[in-house]
């Protein structure tokens, strides 16, 4: 019998504690523990002489520095992460024997890494791109990694094409440009000549590719997996993460501006939210298909370029993940964490999705080069919370000191241990799927429909979302130099929508396709962000205030805070601003250190004593927020300023002339954007 190792929400944190160190108030030593008397000067032959080779401290210090950087990830290089816990709502024993999915009273520690895909480690975070959403569950049966994205489908159907995709979307090799962007010839040439990418490209050109924050972003397992219960019955499954705050996005101009104003925008938002106690929450959802229903749909459920429409296969919410602790060291945790879709536990298995099958090889291969060898599982962030025992030995970075002479299976010297565990006692056994066929390099006919779900996505968008998609295509293809590639893409996406293709063609000077769109026969409302949850919680509001503000302002700010809104004071300097009643407010930002794109809404208060320069700065904030369709509020002198600038009397603009200013402003903030606003 195997020994049980109970897991609680502290177990992983307690395990990591033994590896933590605080160097404050400690004597300076070498890595071998030798106390040092000097750390400013190398050992020399005379004060002006050459440095001596015997200076072991210099060599140790410099060698460590020279090797401080490991190769960045080829994809998902730009990432940020946090710790948390997962709680189940109800037992999933009907579908799986995975222990962490049995008992709602058990909290499973998790570590989640979010990332962009295409950019380097130093690139900006608000670029148009898919986002990685990788979760490591530290379960009592071992680590389980759900390695997904914020888009439920992918560009390609077979993993053998993944190097081609990434080569195409990365900076072009002859000039290493553009960084972290798909708006260039090689990417769109790949798209035009690999039409299986159509569905993913529609998502990439939508608002989903520029999320407002990592806290307001869906996650998807992308692939079809299997859940297997204790009786050996299997179901096909897709995994979802649903953000409790809803799914929200930036607008393109705003995203570009943020890249310059704060390239760390997403990680800063995640870090500060956790530090403030506004813990990001995501509900785990599953879509289930019985094995006998595998072929009843008008798409192949194993095709990674296809989603399962939620209206046909509902998403069942089964648990909640809460991210409640920031990392202590970004390199040791975020950079060294090693995810792998092949890290599973009993009750979770794979399907024959050819993209997934390739990932099962590639992820281990990647960690070997990035993390220096086969012992990456011994790095603290990667260690399971349960013990691990096997006959593997040695290698780079080995931290385990294995005792005894035996390092092989089937032995008498160690009583044939460590020994395999029967499936009935928790040993992992692969699902016994019957497989027959010839060895071929080919693709199933059921994978060859590349446009029906891309059209479904287009049909499911609101008019505003469609405008954004058209604009995104026009921008991206407008950067493409090859007229031939531009035309090929227009012709390709005419298969999705002639309305889309015609408007893009007009924008880039290509030949528009003939014909009209067929009548809409099917759409999926779940795909539109217009249907998402809309709450004011954690929304950041820039409150623009000068000295001699009205005494009513603190009361308004308290009302906003009670709704979970975060007002932050912006003024000319960082000195406190004083009200007419003697009250004071701490200033967090100046006009120089902040910008409206870094906030979800703008509230202009001002004061009668503010000078013309202050008024212009305040209106610059308000004007930019107006053009990005954000909520704008104004009271006191701010009302006059908005009227003079013609920014009042528009949707989402709330002024103090109404008796219900605070309630109406909170309602406007909850809406996130006001697309029916006429932008001047």
Q: Which residues participate in catalysis according to the annotation? A: 76, 149
* Other residues' Cβ atoms within 10 Å of the Cβ of residue 586: 10
Element (H, E) at 84: strand 79-88
Q: For residue 578, what are the CA distances in angstroms to 111, 581, 582?
A: 44, 8, 6
* Other residues' Cβ atoms within 10 Å of the Cβ of residue 10: 12
Q: Are 503 and 287 in contact (CB under 8 A)?
A: no
- Output the DSSP codes for 110-175: EEEEEEESSS-TTS-SSSSS-EEEEEEEEETTEEEEEEEESSSS-S-SSGGGHHHHHHHHSPBTTT
CA angle 327, 329, 333 (to 5 degrees): 70
Helices 498-508 and 483-493: crossing angle, nearest 10°? 160
* 589-590/653-655 β-pairing: unpaired
Q: Are 305 and 453 in contact (CB under 8 A)?
A: yes
The secondary structure of residue 179, as a DSSP letter, is T
Give me the residues paired with residue 606 across strands: 545
- The SS3 of residue 249 is strand
- Output the DSSP codes for 414-439: TTT-S----GGGT-------------
Structure tokens at 18: 């033994």
* Other residues' Cβ atoms within 10 Å of the Cβ of residue 239: 23
- Output the CA torsion sign for 448, 492, 224, 182: positive
- Output the DSSP codes for 585-638: E---EETTT--GGGSSEEEEEE-TT--HHHHHHHHHHHHHHHHTT--EEE-THH
CB under 8 Å to 261, separation ≥6 — which residues? 595, 597, 598
Rounded to whole angstroms, the Cα distance separating 495 from 468 reads 19
The percent of the chain in helix, strand and coil, each rounded to the nearest 5, is 30, 15, 50
* Other residues' Cβ atoms within 10 Å of the Cβ of residue 26: 8
């Amino acid at each position: 019998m195997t020994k049980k190792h109970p897991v609680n929400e502290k177990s992983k944190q307690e395990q990591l504690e033994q590896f933590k160190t605080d160097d404050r108030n400690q004597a300076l030593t070498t890595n071998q523990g030798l106390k040092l008397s000097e750390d400013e000067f190398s050992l020399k032959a005379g004060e002006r002489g050459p440095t001596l080779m015997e200076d072991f401290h210099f060599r140790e210090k410099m060698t460590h520095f020279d090797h401080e950087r490991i190769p960045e990830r080829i994809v998902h290089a730009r990432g940020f992460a946090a710790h948390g816990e997962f709680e189940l709502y109800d037992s999933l024993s009907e579908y799986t024997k995975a222990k962490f999915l049995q008992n709602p009273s058990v909290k499973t520690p998790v570590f989640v890494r979010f990332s962009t895909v295409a950019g380097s480690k130093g690139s900006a975070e608000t670029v148009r791109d898919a986002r990685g959403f990788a979760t490591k569950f530290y379960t009592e049966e071992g680590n389980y990694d759900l390695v997904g994205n914020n888009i439920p489908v992918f560009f390609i159907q077979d993993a053998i094409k993944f190097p081609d995709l990434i080569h195409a979307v990365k900076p072009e090799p002859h000039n290493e440009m553009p960084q972290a962007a798909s708006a260039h010839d090689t990417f769109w040439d790949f798209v035009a000549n690999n039409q299986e990418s159509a569905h993913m490209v529609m998502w990439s050109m939508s608002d989903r590719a520029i999320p407002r924050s990592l806290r307001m972003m869906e996650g998807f397992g992308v692939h079809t997996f299997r859940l297997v219960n204790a009786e050996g019955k299997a179901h096909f499954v897709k995994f979802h993460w649903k953000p409790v705050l809803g799914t929200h996005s930036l607008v393109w101009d705003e995203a570009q501006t943020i890249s310059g104003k704060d390239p760390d925008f997403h990680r800063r938002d995640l870090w500060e939210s956790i530090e403030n106690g506004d813990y990001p929450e995501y509900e785990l959802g599953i879509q289930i298909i019985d094995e006998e229903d595998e072929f009843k749909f008008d798409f192949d459920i194993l095709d990674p370029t296809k989603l399962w429409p939620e209206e046909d296969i509902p998403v069942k919410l089964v648990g909640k993940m809460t991210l409640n602790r920031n990392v202590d060291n970004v390199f040791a945790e975020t950079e060294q964490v090693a995810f792998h879709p092949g890290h599973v536990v009993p009750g979770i298995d794979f399907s024959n999705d050819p993209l997934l099958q390739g990932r099962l090889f590639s992820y281990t291969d990647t960690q070997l080069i990035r993390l220096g060898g086969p012992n990456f599982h011994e790095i603290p962030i990667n260690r399971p919370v349960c013990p691990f025992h096997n006959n593997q030995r040695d290698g780079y970075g080995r931290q385990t000191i294995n005792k005894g002479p035996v390092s092989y299976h089937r032995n008498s010297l160690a009583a044939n241990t460590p020994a395999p565990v029967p499936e009935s006692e928790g040993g992992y056994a692969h699902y016994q799927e019957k497989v027959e066929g010839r060895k071929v390099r080919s693709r199933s006919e059921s994978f060859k429909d590349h446009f029906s779900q891309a059209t479904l996505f287009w049909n499911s968008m609101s008019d505003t979302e469609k405008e954004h998609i058209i604009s995104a295509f026009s921008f991206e293809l407008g950067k493409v130099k090859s007229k031939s590639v531009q035309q090929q893409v227009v012709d390709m996406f005419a298969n999705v929508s002639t309305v889309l293709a015609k408007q893009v063609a007009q924008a880039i000077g290509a030949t528009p396709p003939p014909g009209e769109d067929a009548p809409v026969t099917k759409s999926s409302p779940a795909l539109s962000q217009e249907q998402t949850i809309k709450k004011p919680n954690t929304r950041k509001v820039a409150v623009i205030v000068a000295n001699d503000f009205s005494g009513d302002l603190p009361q308004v700010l308290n009302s906003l805070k009670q709704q979970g809104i975060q007002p932050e004071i912006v003024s000319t300097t960082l000195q406190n601003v004083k009200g007419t009643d003697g009250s004071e407010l701490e200033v967090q930002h100046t006009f120089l250190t902040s910008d409206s794109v870094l906030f979800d809404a703008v509230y202009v208060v001002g004061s009668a004593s503010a000078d013309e320069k202050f008024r212009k700065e305040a209106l610059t904030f308000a004007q930019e927020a107006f053009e990005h369709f954000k909520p704008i509020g104004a009271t006191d002198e701010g009302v006059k300023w908005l009227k003079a600038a013609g920014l009042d009397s528009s949707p989402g603009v709330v002024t103090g002339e109404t008796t219900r200013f605070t309630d109406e402003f909170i309602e406007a903030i909850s809406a996130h954007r006001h697309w029916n606003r006429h932008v001047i």
